[in-house]
Amino acid sequence: MSEKTGLTRLTGLLGGPNCDDDDCPNVYRTEAGSFVVQGAAFDGFQPPDGEGLVEIPEHTLREAVRALGW
């Protein structure tokens, strides 16, 4: 399991469909206020070097928005 220093997990705290521990799509907030998204790799197009694409379900984004109180 990798270290998640400086990240606040916004989603997946209550579990969800097809989730076990840290293998769910998730949204994290960094100490700098940016976001890190965990999800299945998406290969719809090639992103620029140093970037990656992930696909997460809509309910995961909605959960993150609720967690932030937006």
pTM across the whole model:
0.77
With beta carbons less than 8 A apart as the criterion, state whether 30 and 37 touch: no
Q: The tokens of 25 are what?
A: 């799509």
Tell me the torsion sign for CA atoms 9, 31, 52, 67: positive
Instruction: Give Cα separations from 4 to 8, 28, 35 (angstroms).
Output: 8, 9, 13
Query: What is the per-residue pLDDT across 10-68, written as a single tens digit (0 to 9) for each?
Result: 987 765 666 666 678 889 999 999 999 999 999 999 999 999 999 999 999 999 999 99
Q: What are phi and psi of 29, to 5 degrees?
A: -110, 135
